[in-house]
């Protein structure tokens, strides 16, 4: 119990230094199983997603259901953005950590084992998704509630139901959707 407490305390301190909220830095493993299987986003789609969101070094990119972390890693390497990889699957967390280490972006990218529906998203300026349509629709109220107006959202392959995208791209036969959180 003492070691678990120390690990949690260390995570909170590191998260604070990295600028992520304590809620987003939780170390308690999620109890749910993954909602989707991991299918990697092709590099051309990653590039298009980051470009349509106009990612810069001033951004904080939250990748919800990050898989191997390729979107935040690319955002860090190419644009100097800070990134957070969130995934519920321990295998994806392992792969994302390996990707961060292999690309030497540990100073910019943090990997968090978390349930995206229980994670505080308020620190993001850009949110990236490659989830199923039903999950995007389920996630939409949380995005609207927690994200600041002007936060950009980019989804690979799937839209958000009735919320019409501001932009829709075709990248090598794959769809990319873009929205901005409106003023309240």
Number of structural domains, the chain?
A: 1
In a domain, 21, yes or no: no
Q: What is the CATH number of the domain that holds 70?
A: 3.40.50.150
Tokens of 168: 């829709």
H-assigned helices in 53-156? 70-74, 90-102, 133-146
Domain coverage including residue 176: 31-180
131 belongs to a structural domain: yes
pLDDT band at 36 (very low <50, low <70, confident <90, very high): low
Q: Is residue 1 part of a domain?
A: no
Of the two residues 10 and 184, the one the predictor is more confident about is: 184
Above 60 in pLDDT, residue 61?
A: yes
- Parallel/antiparallel/unpaired status of strands 152-156 and 60-64: unpaired
| Residue-level pLDDT at 156 | 97
112 pLDDT more than 80: yes
Asked if the structure places residue 84 within a domain, the reply is: yes
Q: What are phi and psi of 43, to 5 degrees?
A: -55, -40
Joined together, the tokens standing for residue 35 give 């909602």
Which of 178, 154, 182, 181 lies closest to 167 in space, CA to CA?
178
* 150-164 tens-digit pLDDT: 999 999 999 999 999
The predicted model scores a pTM of 0.83
93 lies in some domain: yes
């Amino acid at each position: 119990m003492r070691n678990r407490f120390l690990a949690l305390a260390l995570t909170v301190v590191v998260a604070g230094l990295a600028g992520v909220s304590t809620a987003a830095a939780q170390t308690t493993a999620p109890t749910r199983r993954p909602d989707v299987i991991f299918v990697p986003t092709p590099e051309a789609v990653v590039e298009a997603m980051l470009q349509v969101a106009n990612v810069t070094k001033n951004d904080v990119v939250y990748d919800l259901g990050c898989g191997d972390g390729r979107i935040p890693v690319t955002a860090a390497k190419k644009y100097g953005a800070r990134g957070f990889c969130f995934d519920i699957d321990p295998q994806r967390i392992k792969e994302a950590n390996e990707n961060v280490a292999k690309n030497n972006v540990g100073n910019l990218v943090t990997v968090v084992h978390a349930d995206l529906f229980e994670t505080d998203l308020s620190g993001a300026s850009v949110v990236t998704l490659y989830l199923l349509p039903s999950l995007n629709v389920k996630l939409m109220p949380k995005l609207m509630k927690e994200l600041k107006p002007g936060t950009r959202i980019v989804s690979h392959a799937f839209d958000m139901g009735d919320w019409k995208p501001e932009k829709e791209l075709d990248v090598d036969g794959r769809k990319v959707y873009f929205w901005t959180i409106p003023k309240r």
